[in-house]
Amino acid sequence: MSKNFDVVVIGGGPGGYVAAIRAAQLGFSVACIDEWKNAQGGPAPGGTCTNVGCIPSKALLQSSEHYEHANHAFADHGIDVKGLSLNLKQMLARKDTVIKQNNEGILYLLKKNKITFFHGRGSFAKAEGGAYQIQVALAGKDKGAEAITGKHIIIATGSNARALPGAEFDEKQILSNTGALTIDAVPKKLGVIGAGVIGLEMGSVWRRLGAEVTVLEALPTFLAAVDDQISKEAHKLFTKQGLNINLGVKIGAITAGKKGVTVEYVDAKGDAQKTVFDKLIVSIGRTPNTNGLNGESVGLKLDDRGFVAVDDDCKTNLPNVWAVGDVVRGPMLAHKAEEEGVAVAERIAGQHGHVNFNTVPWVIYTSPEIAWVGKTEQQLKAEGIAYKAGTFPFLANGRARALGDTSGMVKFLADAKSDEILGVHIVGPVASELIAEAVVAMEFRASSEDIARICHAHPSLSEATKEAALAVDKRALNF
C-alpha cells in the first residue's frame, strides 16, 4: 500500500469524510484518518454528527415523539391505546442501530471511492519536500503507528462539548451531549443548562418520556439568534408543553452527590435558588478540537478562541493545509462542514469551490420544529435595511389541520424596494423540510412574488410558505 497520498484528511466526520469522497471523485489518491471507536473498539466514522450528535438525537426525537403522540394525540384521531408503556432499553438500542447503519454506510462509501481509511489518531510529524508527514497512532487490536505523507492536508477534527468550570462531565450525573443520549432510566427531575439547540432538543426528548425538565439559560432573551417573532412563539409553545424555561440566570456552584446534582443559581429577579436534579445536561456550546493534532510541530496557527485560523477559502497559514467544519469559524453545523469539505476538495483541484454563508439553513428539531435562513427582522432593523414582512399561520392551513399540528407560522422578509427575499423563518410542523424551498429561492435571489406565483400542491404544508410570500404583498388568500 502506498503511504504517499495527494490528500490526507484528518477526521472522518461530515466535514472530513465528505471532503475525502469529493477529492477521490476528482481523481486524487486520498487517505482519511478517524479515531472514533464503537462499543467494540472498531472504527465508527461519521464523527460527532453520526455518533453523538445529529443522527442519534434525531432518532430519539422521533421515538419520543411517537411515544408522546401515542400518549396524548392518538385519542383525538379515534385511536385508543391501552396499556401503553415505554421500553427505553429498546428505544436506545434502536438509536444505536441507526448509528451503526450510518457508520457502516460511511465505511462502504470510503471503500467505494477507493479512499484508504486509517482507524486511529493522526498528528502532524513534520513538513518536508512540499508535503506533510502525518503520524497515525492506530486504534484497535493491531495498535502501532504508521507514517504517511500528504501533499494536501485537510483538518476536519471537529469539536467537543464545553464544560462549566468546576463541573466536569462525568457522563453519569453531569452529562454532555454524549451522556444525554444514553440515560438508561427516565430521570424524575432533569436539569439543563443552556437553552440552545442541544438543550431544547434533548430537553424535549426527556420531557416527552416523562422527566420534569428545568432549563437554565444565562441570556435574558430566548433563542437570541432566532427571529424575535418566531422565538416568542416557540417559547410560548415549549412552555405550554411543560418545559420549565428560566432565562437570565447566573449559574453558581454545581455539586454532584448521592442524592443528585445540586445547582445553585441566581434567577432573573436576583433571588438565590438551589435545585437538586437527578441528572444535569450541560449544553452551553462547543469548543474546537485540536487535541493531539500536534499542529505546533509545523507552526499551524490557531485563532484566539482556539479554532484553526482560516481565510474565506478554508486555507490555513500553512501552504496546502486546509481546515473545515466545527474546527474553524462559522456555524457548527454538519451541512456547513460538508459544504466546506466539498469546496476545499474542488479548490485543491483548481476549481472554484464556493460556500454561501448567507444561505446556510438552521433547524432546531423540537416539536414544532424551528427553521430559518437569511436575516432576522431584528438584524434587518439593526442594519437599517428597509423590508416588508409577511406571515401565515399553520392554523389556517388545511394539511396542518388534517395532521392535527397547527402550531406556528411561516414568515417572509423581503427587501422593501426590490422584493428580494432576505430571510424566511418557520416554526411549525416539518419546518426542516419546508425551509429547503426558501434556501433554493434565496440562492437564486428570488423575490417573494416569485414564490407567491409558484403553484404549490394542495393540501400541503408548503402552501403556508406560498401564503406567507403572498402576505408580503398583503394578499394572502386563506387568512
Q: Helix %, strand %, coil % for the chain, to 5?
A: 35, 30, 35
In terms of Cα–Cα distance, which of 13, 87, 102 is closest to 56? 102
Q: Which does 196 bind (CB under 5 to 8 A by kind): ligand NAI, ligand FAD, none?
A: ligand NAI
Crossing angle of helices 88-112/54-68, nearest 10°?
140
Residue 476: CB minimum distance to ligand FAD, A: 31
Name which of ligand NAI, ligand FAD, none residue 91 binds, using a CB cut-off of 5 to 8 Å depending on partner kind.
Answer: none
SS3 at position 439: helix
Closer to ligand FAD by CB, 12 or 187: give it: 12
| 346 makes contact with ligand NAI (CB under 6 A) | no
Asked if residue 423 lies in contact with residue 440, where contact means CB atoms within 8 angstroms, the answer is no
H or E element at residue 124? strand 116-128
CA atoms within 13 A on the CB side of 12: 30
Q: Does 334 bind ligand FAD (CB under 6 A)?
A: yes
Q: Binding to ligand NAI by residue 219, rule CB under 6 A? A: yes
Q: Which residues pair with 154 in a beta bridge?
A: 9, 322
Contact with ligand NAI (CB under 6 A) among 6, 34, 217, 419 = 217
Contacts of 336 (CB under 8 A, 6+ apart): 325, 330, 355, 357, 360
Of the candidate residues 194, 325, 393, 428, the single one contacting ligand NAI (CB under 6 A): 194
Out of 127, 337, 345, 427, the only residue in the binding site for ligand FAD (CB under 6 A) is 337
Binding mask 276-305 for ligand NAI (x = CB under 6 A): -------xxxx-------------------
Contacts with ligand NAI, 355-394, as mask; x by CB under 6 A: --------xxx-----------------------------
458 is catalytic: yes
- Angle formed by the axes of helices 14-25 and 88-112, nearest 10°: 30
Q: Which is nearer to ligand NAI, 5 or 36 (CB)?
A: 36
Interacting partner of 292 out of ligand NAI, ligand FAD, none (Cβ under 5 to 8 A depending on kind):
ligand FAD
Q: Of 41-49, 79-87, 258-266, 450-458, which part binds ligand FAD (CB under 6 A)? A: 41-49
CA distance 225 to 200: 14
* Residue entry with cell 387568512: 479
Interface with ligand NAI by CB under 6 A: which residues? Answer: 164, 193-199, 201, 216-219, 251, 283-286, 331-333, 363-365
Catalytic center residues: 458
